[in-house]
Chains A and B, each alone.
Chain A
Amino acid sequence: MHLLYQIFVDPFVQMGAAPDLLAQTLWDGLVAGVLYALIALGFVLIFKASGVFNFAQGIMVVFAALTLVGLHEHGVPAFLALGLTIVVMFVLAFGVERLMLRPLVNQSDVILFMATFGLTYILIGLGQLIFGGNPKVMIANELYLPSGEMRFKGLGGFVSFQKIDIAAVIIASLMVAVLAVFFQRTRIGRALRAVADSHQAALSVGISLEQIWVIVWFAAGVVALTTGIMWGARSEVSFSLQIIALKALPVLILGGLTSIPGAIVGGLIIGIGEKLGEFYWGPLLGGGIETWFAYVIALGFLVFRPQGLFGEKIIERI
């Protein structure tokens, strides 16, 4: 009885007693969720257009951020370094298409999935060879990203917002809006959606799969760069970010592998759920439940909606 009370009543009593803490937790969860959503977005972009479950998205985030910081360390001005990094991501997309996707076209999903593992190892090796394995500090000031925090009085206490978090939320929303317009309104966007629906049908109306793949991987690279900058500015640029990027996976299955809104909503649910879970229910279990709580939330959703919240209904033909 006491246990039930601790699980079902006590956390809510705490929430009601200290609304400022609740608001702070919600905000932290929101920011974490936005960043998860950004990584998930990169996954979804590639999955939609090529059916490849790109495991390398996490390391792409690290690699992009490292390239940016590394270039700046070698004396390249911040914004030129940003431009150059975008070029690097394009070269990467081009290389992936030419050397990995093209020879593996029409292979089963698992094989392509494995190939992205190979890509992950290559990027880890390359990144460490060129930039070294030590964590680096993101050049947030040089890129005119805000720092410091804002404190609001209210809810019976203080709620503090890091300015960089606010910037992250704004930039993420902008990027999602741009991507949405890109997918819905432009010629290339329509071609992308056609490829997502059916590779063969898209080919038959004259859409070049190769081009589309380069574009999609490049877009995912740019998303990765943005994520890398934001995440790097909050903590630091290191290879451990790659493990955090795995958190995007429950976001994906929660939102549905093929849905951009799903990635966003899924990210927010996971981010907020995780922080609330850790803060209010974590002490019951001895803490540190953040590592698996997200997966359990996702698993719970999956049992009721196997294709995720916004995923396309899986229709199977025999």
Chain B
Amino acid sequence: MLYREVGQYKTSYAADMAVFPILQDRIGIGVILLLAFVVIPLTGNDFLLNAVLIPFLIFSLAAIGLNLLTGYTGLLSLGTGAFMGVGAYACLKLTTYFPQVNIIVWILASGFFSAAVGVLFGLPSLRIKGFYLAVATLAAQFFLEWCFIRIPWLYNYAISGAIEVPKRTLAGIALTGPTATASTRYVVVLGIVGRIGRMWMAVRDMDLAAELVGIRLLPTKLLAFAVSSFYCGVAGAMMVFLWYGGAEANVFAIDQSFLILFMVIIGGLGTLIGSFFGAALIYILPIVLRWVPEAFGLPLHPATVEHLQFLILGVLIIVFLVVEPSGLARLWQIGKQKLRVWPFPY
């Protein structure tokens, strides 16, 4: 009813090619941006920011990264967690050697290290593909994980063997470290995700152009690996520096890779918005599941709740795949289409 494009004429080529051609979409995006940038940082409490929104944004970014690789070029990767780790460790080393440079610069720059490693492990993709490639990326996952544990130089010879995030400030406001407030970190994360999100569109357009002409496989596949790893690396650096504030190597274990793959597939392969939906569902679902028994006053043992979580998550994954294999993004599209023609069925 509200969502209808009747009367909105496109009078120029630019209007036709606009990212959000429908007025309601533009209003919706405006509202979301206002909420995200102004309302939430001012009003949100620490739990909401720390446990829900910051991880959601970070996972979204990582999911976008994997989606670029898997959704657009069809290269299945199980090494996402390790590439995120490369970003985090690179950021730590960079800020250790150059503490005077702004941490945000290093978070972004660490993506390039991740991209370089991604290209290296992307090389086999020229010969192999499909599940063979997926298993080959596991080599990256396990090898890099081993490096994170066995090379003390990477974590600055910390006795705990973990990344200890140093305190970094911008204009006197603590961005990282124990004293940084949740809303500051949230705004920084949001800013970084938004900035990189726009870069993504350039890649998408180039991808379209590349499809039409005879593309050379080698540079294209490697570029996909590089860009994807760049995103994952930035997400990893943010995860440690702006969310956890310190991490051990097992944060970047294979479970993390699988989790992000879930997000991509549940959200919808090859869709930007799907990455956000997937991240929201997979990350926030367990939080909700934890709260449901309490809300109903069910006397469940915490361990039982955890086991039930696994069970329900598994069932939901299968149900989602059965109901809509193209992911949540497709459901979103269907919903929009229904709204557009409402009250008629088609």
With contacts A298-B135, A302-B136, A306-B128 taken as known, whether A122 is within 8 angstroms of B262 at the C-beta atoms is: no
Size bracket, chain B contacts: 35 or more
Q: Which residues of A contact B307 (CB under 8 A)?
A: 124-125, 128-129, 133
CA distance A172 to B214 in the complex (A): 50
**What 0/1 pattern do residues 119 to 145 of B give for CB contact below 8 A with A?**
000001001101110011011001101
Q: Are A288 and B325 in contact (CB under 8 A)?
A: no
Chain A: CB-nearest residue to B152: A286
CB <8 Å contact, A129 and B135: no
Give residues 85-131 of A contacting B (CB, 8 Å).
99-100, 103-104, 107-111, 113-115, 117-126, 128-129
Q: Which residue of A lies closest to B139 (CB)?
A: A295
CB distance from B313 to the nearest CB of A (A): 5
- Tally A-B pairs: CB < 8 A: 135
Check A126–B311 contact: CB distance below 8 A.
yes
- CB distance B310 to A125 under 8 Å? yes
In whole angstroms, how far apart are the Cα atoms of A212 and B318 in the complex? 21
Interface flag for A299 (CB, 8 Å): yes
A308 an interface residue at 8 Å Cβ cutoff?
yes
Q: Which of A108, A111, A121, A289 contacts B146 (CB 8 A)?
A: A289
Q: For the side of the interface on A, what is the size category?
A: 35 or more
Please tell me if the beta carbons of B127 and A246 are within 8 angstroms of each other in the complex.
no
- Given the complex of chains A and B, what is the CA–CA distance between A285 and B151 in angstroms? 10
Main secondary structure of the interface of A (DSSP, over half): helix
User: Taking the complex as formed, is B11 at the interface, i.e. its CB lies under 8 A from any CB of chain A?
Assistant: no
- Asked if A128 and B310 sit within 8 Å, CB to CB, the answer is yes
Q: State in angstroms the CA–CA spacing of A150 and B48 once bound together.
A: 61
B280-317, CB under 8 A of A: which get 1 and which 0?
A: 00000000000000000000000110111111111111
A104-B321, A125-B307, A303-B124 known; 10 new pairs, CB 8 Å cut-off, are A110-B269, A117-B262, A122-B314, A125-B313, A128-B306, A129-B307, A133-B303, A292-B142, A295-B135, A302-B124
Binding site for B on A (CB under 8 A): 53, 99-100, 103-104, 107-111, 113-115, 117-126, 128-129, 133, 243, 246, 249-250, 252-253, 257, 285-289, 291-292, 295-296, 298-299, 302-303, 306-308
The 8 closest A-B pairs by CB, nearest first: A125-B311, A121-B314, A125-B310, A118-B317, A295-B139, A122-B314, A292-B142, A118-B318
A-B contact pairs, 28 of them (CB 8 A): A99-B318, A104-B322, A107-B325, A108-B325, A110-B76, A114-B262, A117-B314, A119-B314, A119-B318, A120-B314, A122-B314, A124-B307, A243-B254, A246-B254, A249-B138, A250-B138, A253-B132, A253-B135, A253-B136, A288-B146, A289-B146, A292-B145, A295-B138, A296-B143, A299-B136, A302-B127, A303-B127, A308-B132
